[in-house]
Amino acid sequence: MADENGRGVTGMDTSRHNLNEVAADLVARARARGVTAADVLVAEGESTEVQVRLSEADRLSRAREKRLGLRVFFGKRSATASTSDFAGASLERLVDDTCDLAKAVAEDETSGLPEESAMATDIPDLDLHDPAAPTVEDAMDRARRAERAAMDADPRITNSEGAECASAHGAVVLANTHGFVGAHRSSHFSLAVTPVAEGADGQGMQRDSWFTVSRKWRALETPEAVGAVAAARTLRRLSARKVKTRRVPVVFDPQIAESLLGHLAGAVSGYALYKGASFLLGRLGQSIAPPHVSIEDNGRMAGRLGSRPFDGEGVPTRKTMIVDQGVLTGYLLDTYSGKKLGMASTGNAARGPGETPSVSPTNLFLHPGGASSDEIIRSVKEGLYVTDLIGFGVNPVTGDYSRGASGMWIDHGELAYPVQEVTIAGNLKQMFRDIEMIGNDLEFRGSVASPTVKIREMMLGGQ
């Protein structure tokens, strides 16, 4: 099952009006029990995933599911529950049990729905749904072609961990006692392959992967292109070396640079901030990065994987500049965390049926710079180009950062040889200040996206 972002949920257009009726009816039932406020989130859908390995079908899964979550308030007391049984008697029990639970819990002065004036009044079509329904045979064919392209790329690729092709369609409805009823549909398609290469020098095997993902089936990259990139990424890891401990420039490839934005999103989440658990506490309005760094969260981008017309509380999504020319200018907030900070929601509430809202980015990305990735690499006399990170050595409170890494050694502006079993360490506050160059290769392969990023210097722990 999934949340209101449509992640992992699927659904058919023919059921959407029925979902609206179910949600509105449950709100009415809650009103009849004397609640002061309530909201209902309903999601349904279907998904298909196939996996092949060495051209043989390895796994096939199909799922269809429907789930409903009810949240009720009696003054400042609240409770949330969910069910997958939509029978009338079951829904009656859900309302009764949730109301009884809410009356029994302690008051929370911050709890409550958003103000009625904060509700979304327009539900724009953000082009999030593709009615295409690839058959199992279509998905299997794409997975086989991707794996075959990877295996045929080089004789050193001797094995495969498999290729996967997946599709999902989703429908979500949110209703509350303000009279708000909002609905949207979504789709999600993906293809990925993980080849294994064996070196000729006795240094063992290496694996890597590549993928394509889109709201639209026909917008996926070709299986041959996915397989070729996966093969190239795997082959470049062969004959990896260790390097000596030193301080050097570090270049993050786009897939790895995304993780820096993830740490930033956690630091500007309202929940981390009001709890005092953020390395950016008290920095709003201050410079935290060079002027060429701008970071945006935008839930209204057409066709993007993080887009949605309204958030998990019915508040309209929007564009929020988190960092504008190096200055921290915005937080990510839902209603609860916003109230704790004395601020308004930014439309970043996320939730699944039966869950209380939390904060999540929509489409979070670093604005691209003017340099190509090759130009960034050429700017480094000696340093590390990071293509993989291991472990979770990041302290969100202090910003201390230490993670295992592998990648390519840069020698006089050229990618010289693969490197593994090293550690890169620093502090996120200094790392954001030390962003020297940003690439022009921004590409959305998820809800968080970044171009290539060069950090002026980090400690590299090796031999």
pLDDT in tens, 353-383: 999 999 999 999 999 999 999 999 999 999 9
The Cα 425–Cα 431 span in angstroms is 10
The Cα 421–Cα 463 span in angstroms is 9
Contact residues for 411 (Cβ-Cβ < 8 A; gap 6+): 382
Contact residues for 260 (Cβ-Cβ < 8 A; gap 6+): 252, 428, 431, 432, 450, 453
| Spatial contact of 292 and 269, defined as CB atoms under 8 Å apart | no
Structure confidence at residue 435 (pLDDT): 98
User: In sequence order, what DSSP letters do the residues of 60-117 get, joined into one string?
Assistant: EEEEEEEEEEEEEEETTEEEEEEES--SHHHHHHHHHHHHHHHHHSPP-TT-SPPPGG
Contact residues for 152 (Cβ-Cβ < 8 A; gap 6+): 227
Structure confidence at residue 365 (pLDDT): 98
Contact residues for 275 (Cβ-Cβ < 8 A; gap 6+): none
| Spatial contact of 409 and 392, defined as CB atoms under 8 Å apart | no
Q: CA dist 419 to 201, 249, 250, 451, 454, Å?
A: 15, 15, 13, 22, 17
Q: With the C-alpha atoms ordered 30, 31, 32, 34, is the resulting torsion angle positive or negative?
A: positive
Q: Which helix (H) or strand (E) holds 419?
A: strand 414-427
Structure confidence at residue 438 (pLDDT): 98
Residue 246 CB neighbours (<10 A): 13
Contact residues for 330 (Cβ-Cβ < 8 A; gap 6+): 268, 297, 320, 321, 322, 346
Q: Note the pTM of the prediction, 2 decimals.
A: 0.93
Helix axis angle, 136-152 relative to 223-235, nearest 10°? 40
Burial zone of 159 (CB within 10 Å; 0-12 exposed, 13-18 middle, 19+ buried): middle
Tell me, what DSSP letter sits at residue 326? Answer: T
| Spatial contact of 381 and 408, defined as CB atoms under 8 Å apart | no
The Cα 208–Cα 198 span in angstroms is 12
Q: pLDDT digits over 260-282, tens only? A: 999 999 999 999 999 999 999 99
| Spatial contact of 169 and 156, defined as CB atoms under 8 Å apart | no
The Cα 280–Cα 296 span in angstroms is 16
Tell me, what DSSP letter sits at residue 18? Answer: H
Q: In 3D, which of 256, 167, 171 has the Cα closest to residue 220? A: 167
Structural domains in the chain, sorted by start: 13-232 (3.30.2290.10), 240-463 (no CATH)
Q: In 3D, which of 340, 337, 339 has the Cα closest to residue 348? A: 337
Task: Return left, alpha or beta for 346; rule: phi > 0 is left, psi -120 to 50 is alpha, else beta.
Answer: alpha
| pLDDT of the chain, 463 residues: tens digit per residue | 334 443 333 333 334 568 999 999 999 999 999 999 999 999 999 999 999 999 999 999 999 999 999 999 999 999 999 999 999 999 999 999 999 999 999 999 999 999 999 999 999 999 999 999 999 999 999 999 999 999 999 999 999 999 999 999 999 999 999 999 999 999 999 999 999 999 876 668 999 999 999 999 999 999 999 999 999 999 999 999 999 999 999 999 999 999 999 999 999 999 999 999 999 999 999 999 999 999 999 999 999 999 999 999 999 999 999 999 999 999 999 999 999 999 999 999 999 999 999 999 999 999 999 999 999 999 999 999 999 999 889 999 999 999 999 999 999 999 999 999 999 999 999 999 999 999 999 999 999 999 999 999 999 998 7
Amino acid at 225: A
Q: With the C-alpha atoms ordered 412, 416, 422, 423, is the resulting torsion angle positive or negative?
A: positive
Structure confidence at residue 463 (pLDDT): 79
Residue 247 CB neighbours (<10 A): 13
